């Protein structure tokens, strides 16, 4: 009985709750936009734009996965969410242009706020969106 009372504090110390999951990555919004834009571009018949935005999504997901701490008790990172997005019904080229403009601005606004090792990726997404807009013009 004395042993049980003496080891009780040790048992409590070994069962501390796991740390909370990390906050969402700042690149998550860019990733969602890239996946959505790829689906939209596919729907409007712009395969090159769809491929470029899918590549942006792949690179962003890889960076999010790299930077996300692996906590054994959490599920897989949110960037591992479904990679395909259903294109909107009645998608138009104008919607694609508007989405690319929004993604370009979003990435351009984010680039100066992220660490330098991520700024190149974010800036290249912005530049890529700008060149896709030129190609669609």
4 pLDDT above the threshold of 70: no
pLDDT, residue 89, reads 79
How far apart, in whole angstroms, are the C-alpha atoms of residue 8 and residue 32? 48
> What pLDDT is recorded for position 81?
53
46 DSSP assignment:
-
pLDDT for the residue 101: 98
Which residue in 127, 125, 118, 120 sits closest to 66, CA to CA? Answer: 118
- Give Cα 2 distance to the centre of its chain: 54
3-state secondary structure of 127: helix
Average pLDDT, the chain: 85
- Each residue's pLDDT tens digit, 44-87: 999 999 999 999 999 999 999 999 866 655 454 455 455 667 77
Kindly calculate the radius of gyration of the chain based on its CA atoms and give it in whole angstroms: 21
Residue 22: the pLDDT is: 72
Identify the residue with better confidence: 77 or 116.
Answer: 116
Entry pTM: 0.76
Structure confidence at residue 82 (pLDDT): 55
pLDDT of residue 19: 76
pLDDT of residue 5: 55
* pLDDT of res. 84: 66
pLDDT of residue 17: 81
Give the DSSP per-residue string, 72-100: TTS-S-GGGS-S--PPPTT--HHHHHHHH
What pLDDT does residue 86 have? 74
Mean pLDDT of the 120-131 span: 97
């Amino acid at each position: 009985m004395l042993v049980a009372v003496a080891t009780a504090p040790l048992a409590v110390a070994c069962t501390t709750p796991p740390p909370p999951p990390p906050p969402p990555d700042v690149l998550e919004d860019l990733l969602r936009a890239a996946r959505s834009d790829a689906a939209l571009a596919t729907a409007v018949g712009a395969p090159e734009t769809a491929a470029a935005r899918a590549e942006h999504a792949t690179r962003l997901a890889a960076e999010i996965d790299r930077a996300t701490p692996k906590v054994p008790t959490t599920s897989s990172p949110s960037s591992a969410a479904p990679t395909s997005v259903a294109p909107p019904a009645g998608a138009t080229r104008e919607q694609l242009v508007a989405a690319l403009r929004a993604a370009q601005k979003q990435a351009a606004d984010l680039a100066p706020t992220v660490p330098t090792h991520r700024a190149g990726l974010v800036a290249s997404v912005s530049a890529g969106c700008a060149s896709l807009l030129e190609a669609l013009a």
